[in-house]
Chains A and B, each alone.
Chain A
Amino acid sequence: MMIRSTHTLVRPNKSIRFYDEVEEASDEYKGYIYNNFIKNKRMIKSEKSLSEDGLTLTTIMLWDNEDSFLDLCTDEFLFNDRIHKVNVYNVTNGIQSDVFVTKVE
């Protein structure tokens, strides 16, 4: 069953940049996601939007099933290459991070 994951990042003020603005993902990281999640249609769609006040960055992704989403979240390469840096950056800069999933009927 398809699911939608919604990942929100809320920064305290606009002077704090989101990590994507600090360091772009490496080509290796992007290529890995493409080859393992996009090309084989496990990740079907991904959209980012910034709230009007500029504080909340929302990423909505559509997945073929929940396992694909969990595989990305726990992938060793992705964690070592970027995810742990993002986590540290968010904690040290007071950026709230939240994820939830919903089933797509």
Chain B
Amino acid sequence: MTELFDPHSNEWLLNKFEYYKKLRALDQAYYSNKYRLYVITRHKDVVNALSDHSSFSSANGNLIVEDDTRFNLTLGASDNPIHDIYKDIAKNAYAKSNIERIGNFYRQKVRDSLVGKSTFNLSDIVDHTTCWATAEILNLPVDKEVIKNLILGIQRHSNFCVQHDTDPFYMVELNKIILKCCANRVPAQGPGIYSEFVNNNPKKVRVTSLFTGPTISGASSLTGAVEFLILDLYRQGQVEKLLNDRSLIPFAINEALRFNSTTGRFSRTVTKELHLHGVDLKPGDRVGLCLESANRDEEEFQNADQFDINRKAGQLAFGHGLHACIALAISKHLMYVFLEEFLNIVGNYKVVTGNEELTYVMTASGNDDMISNIIVEKI
């Protein structure tokens, strides 16, 4: 292994924090020939870049491996004023009133998935329950199970999501359903993206990424976040603490998000000459902003490699600034719901899969980290 940065390698992903340590210690930001970008790993540099959206543009994408058909057509791959146009349409779908509704629905799905099981594939359960929640966020006026299964197919086969075994069928079918509903003026059946798209869209923006975005990046980042939450609580010996005191759940979630940021990396394109981590950047240069490295930077977090449930520090798992994740509040709420139900139903548990046996899902974008084979056993 010669690449210091390679989020499409299982070996790199298993050892990424050791690589990040080396990258942070370098005098100059590492240039990845494979991904054609400078890898920015220090907390202060990542925060500065995420805050300065005039110097670090998203209009040419935010993925480590990009696709130019996304440029200016998605929330993540746009700058203002376009970004705010999209955000204004979608934001109510992520508002408090809708979070509670989706949380209740999700809670039931999590219960149904966990009750009666003693040994199970956690990754599979999280995958399915996340897709149910995502279908509820979209709230298209069609059978939710159809939508949930299409989202699952997108997660497993879309070329926007995975590198291998790709099949465009699921994305095309979802787009057809969206277009069909919109073109036939099918009334919304409740709050969600569809309702906002048809009723809160004064500029009549016909950009289906407002639907497909949550099914791609939203679903994968929530899936990864829940997986790492359950995995790290076990690996770090925190389960009994939480079983004895549920008031620790929000702190456990916050620390789990810092400890393993499921959306580990974003890209930006530099718009002006500037100096960062020992490198002179020029317009057009690409940078990879490594949130997960920033979250482990000893300059920012004392004992950064230790999982500390009492840590009261912010983290960058949902990004920062203009492009901070629109689904931050709902994601944290769903993580809370999952963990609460998990502790209630499963109780104490162990992770059977060894640390070195974990198999990452190779995402096409290189941004998100999920694991496909976490086997859990009830104790």
A binding-site residues for B, Cβ under 8 Å:
5, 10, 66, 69-70, 73-74, 76, 79-80, 84, 87-88, 90-92, 94, 96-101
Contacts and interface: CB of A to CB of B under 8 A. Distances in A.
Nearest to A69: B183
Which 3 residue pairs of A and B lie closest in terms of their CB atoms, listed nearest first?
Answer: A96-B204, A101-B183, A70-B176
B185 interface: yes
Contact of A88 (B73, B172, B175, B182): B73
A99 B206 contact: yes
Interface of B: 69, 71-73, 82, 85, 168, 172, 175-176, 179-180, 182-185, 203-207
Contacts of B175: 73-74
Nearest to B182: A99
A92 B73 CA distance: 10
Q: What secondary structure prevails in chain A residues at the interface with B?
A: helix
Contacts of B206: 87, 90, 97-99
A54 B379 CA distance: 72
Contact of A97 (B69, B71, B176, B204): B204
Contacts of A91: 72-73, 82, 85, 203, 205, 207
Given A94-B203, A96-B204, A79 B182 contact: no
Nearest to B207: A87
Nearest to A80: B69
Contacts of B69: 79-80, 84
Contacts of B182: 99
Nearest to B173: A74
A95 B37 CA distance: 35
Contacts of B180: 66, 70
Contact of A96 (B71, B184, B185, B203): B203
B72 A70 contact: no
A69 B180 CA distance: 9
Contacts of B185: 100
Contacts of B72: 88, 91-92
Contacts of B71: 88
A25 to B, nearest CB: 17
A70 B73 contact: no
